[in-house]
Amino acid sequence: MLTTDPKPVSIKGMKLLKDIIEQWGFVTAEQCAELAEYFPRTELIIQWGAMPRQPMKAINVAKRIKEVEDSNQDYVRQVFIKSESFRKLKSVLGVELDSGNPML
């Protein structure tokens, strides 16, 4: 059962964050499930094929993607962490910010 109460952060949870940073904030389906488990309130963005981008907490992303794809409304192109959250995460973890790169 999914809950909005996060599990205690473990080595696995920290590795998950490190991997997402290395992927420039993009999240795979497997990582999305792990985020929902360890960091359920993390704000993610679902980028659809045609529909507007949709911000959503990690705990709700898989359900929303299933609803949209099962109803043939659209397909998911990618899921990623909001840029503001991505920058904060990098800062908290001590990852160097490249001020010359607008993606960071």
CB burial of residue 57 (10 Å; 0-12, 13-18, 19+): middle
pLDDT in tens, 41-90: 999 999 999 999 999 999 999 999 999 999 999 999 999 998 888 888 77
Alpha-carbon distance of 71 to 4, in angstroms, equals 26
**6 — pLDDT class (breaks 50, 70, 90):** low
Query: Percent of the chain, pLDDT > 70?
Result: 83
Least confident of 9-13, 70-74, 83-87, 96-100: 96-100
pLDDT at position 2, please?
Answer: 52
Domain definitions of the chain by residue range: 11-92
